[in-house]
A and B are shown apart, each in its own frame.
Chain A
């Protein structure tokens, strides 16, 4: 089952604008990660934020985490057409047998128009 939901499900913006995606989750986490997926292919790791962190930056990406609200947001600044992809948040918990299990949300489809 999915850990949580991304919001919005789909987002369309003009090149140069900022894109904000939100993620909510249900259980306690070790960390939360954001991934990008182009055209139903493999996932590319973007950024990881630990449960004791509130904000993190990487290039044009800014991630926030509010553990009290069990939510996170991903901001992509100055978007480019190449940012068009599906974006997933994934929470990192420990499954039975001490496996490292990522639990993904349902994703946000971002379209950046040139």
Chain B
């Protein structure tokens, strides 16, 4: 079975632009979480979605938004990009919202110039 997939793998944007990142969970997994990993740091939790509803949100501004589709794939949107948004964005899926183990995708590396 395929693991978590994310697209694109790399992305370059300029300040003020908007970006959309995509994630497809492992088949059968209904929960998707998003994390931001700035270079040299550990990942930080952004959102969790389960059954198309937001279940939790980390300490990120409203410029960050996400949604989950009926097939459980997810999009992360970031508006009005700042240089500090440059990071690796990781998607993780799990079977259920309260499952302990999450399975991470390879990430999307975003560079904001």
Contact = CB atoms under 8 A, between A and B. Distances in A.
Given A106-B41, A106-B42, A101 B56 contact: yes
Contacts of B45: 95, 99, 101-103
Interface in B74-104: 88, 90, 92, 94, 97-104
B104 A2 contact: no
B31 interface: yes
Contacts of B103: 45
A102 B102 contact: yes
Interface residues of A, number: 29
A94 B100 CA distance: 11
A105 B106 CA distance: 19
Interface string B21-37: 00000000001010100
A97 B42 contact: no
Interface string A43-66: 111001000000000000000000
A2 to B, nearest CB: 6
Interface of B: 4, 31, 33, 35, 39-45, 47-48, 54-59, 88, 90, 92, 94, 97-107, 109
27 contacts: A1-B59, A35-B104, A40-B107, A40-B109, A41-B107, A42-B104, A43-B104, A45-B101, A48-B100, A92-B100, A95-B48, A95-B58, A97-B55, A98-B55, A98-B98, A99-B33, A99-B48, A99-B55, A99-B57, A99-B97, A100-B99, A100-B102, A102-B35, A102-B92, A106-B42, A107-B41, A107-B42
